[in-house]
Amino acid sequence: MNLDKLSQWLIDSNNDVAYISDPLSINYFTGYSMEPHERIFALIAFKDQPPFIFAPELNVEEAKNSAWNGEVYGYLDHQDPWLKIAELIKKRVANPQNIALEKQHLSVERLEQLKRALPDSNFSGNVSPFIAQSRLFKTDEEIKQLKKAGEEADFAFTIGFDALRNGVTERYVAGQIDYQLKLQKGVMHTSFETIVQAGKNAANPHLGPTMNKIEPNELVLFDLGTMHEGYASDSSRTVAYGTPTDLEKEIYEVDREAQQAAIDAAKPGITASELDAVARDIITKAGYGEYFIHRLGHGIGLNVHEEPQIMEGNDIVLQEGMCFSIEPGIYIPNVAGVRIEDCGVVTKNGFETFTKTGKDLKYISPKD
């Protein structure tokens, strides 16, 4: 579970302890996942001592019965968790000098509580970059779960396309997707709010589903994903409900061409910036560059958005085992929007997508 790498990082960085507080990071290192809400949940790791999980008392037995086989300690709501954490740390390291934090996650208030409980320790170390770097490369088991999540996303598209009717709202269609995922596939959590956007609404990429009614002869954009065994899917398709305009057909085809070109170009050795440029250049040459207003893609794994960022200015070299989205979009205000997105993994020779729903423009006949 990558704990050996964490211990080695502590040695190399001259830190005695790592205080890891992001539930996704804790899951990555321990195989145990939970949502602590306002309570304290942490993984405490050491360079030369066994790590332990610290959790609310009501989650202790659950943690002990999970994939985690290390120590688990709990606290009651009326107890001071920070003093208890300090006591547990000092049983392993009598005088902890340097304690590394997940600075990308920890709040200022909680840092102040740690400093109160451990006043002689230094908290300048930052373990967040190490965790992000570690999560860049997915194992075969992680890729298996990402593929399963992709299959669920493909199922969700089928449900969404079938739910289109004259006069139903975007929220109705999104609700049908979420309901059928639960009913037929047992999917209890989507990776983000299911997005359905029709007509002009699709030109606002993250508007979300509204009470806007779907009418014939407009494009409908779907953006959705699920969580499968802790791993996310994220995919977008745009379909024609009825007959789109010539402009809408044109921007769809430009976007489809740009997305496919980027998929074909994604392979070990290309940089994230170069890959972004493959799709962006096609859209720009077609005259729609000003309407492609976001990065080409983002990493995916335990989180729906993580490293690497596939964007201009990021010169990270893409390597086998990295997983990310490829999702160019064209959004013309008050006219229409198109986005086509697949997540996938860099393989030895190319890029394998996790979603398989077709990308030739799909025409759906209007119905009452």
d(CA 137, CA 28): 12
d(CA 219, CA 362): 10
User: In whole numbers, what is the pLDDT of the chain averaged over residues?
Assistant: 97
d(CA 61, CA 207): 41
DSSP for 97-151, written as a single string: -BEEE-TTT--HHHHHHHHHHSTT-B---B-HHHHHHHHTB--HHHHHHHHHHHH
CB neighbourhood size of 266 (10 A): 26
CB 262 within 8 A of CB 252: no
For the stretch 269-320, pLDDT in tens is 999 999 999 999 999 999 999 999 999 999 999 999 999 999 999 999 999 9
Peptide bond into 23 cis (omega under 30): no
d(CA 133, CA 291): 32
For the stretch 33-45, pLDDT in tens is 999 999 999 999 9
Task: Answer yes or no: is pLDDT of 1 > 80.
Answer: no
Q: pLDDT > 90: what percent of the chain? A: 98
Query: How far from chain centre, in Å, is Cα 353?
Result: 15
For the stretch 4-16, pLDDT in tens is 999 999 999 999 9
For the stretch 87-136, pLDDT in tens is 999 999 999 999 999 999 999 999 999 999 999 999 999 999 999 999 99
Beta-carbon contacts of 125 under 8 Å, excluding residues fewer than 6 positions away, are 13, 15, 18, 98, 99, 100, 101
DSSP for 136-203, written as a single string: TB--HHHHHHHHHHHHHHHHHHHHHHHH--TT-BHHHHHHHHHHHHHHHH----BSS--EEEEGGGGG
So what's the pLDDT on residue 2? 81
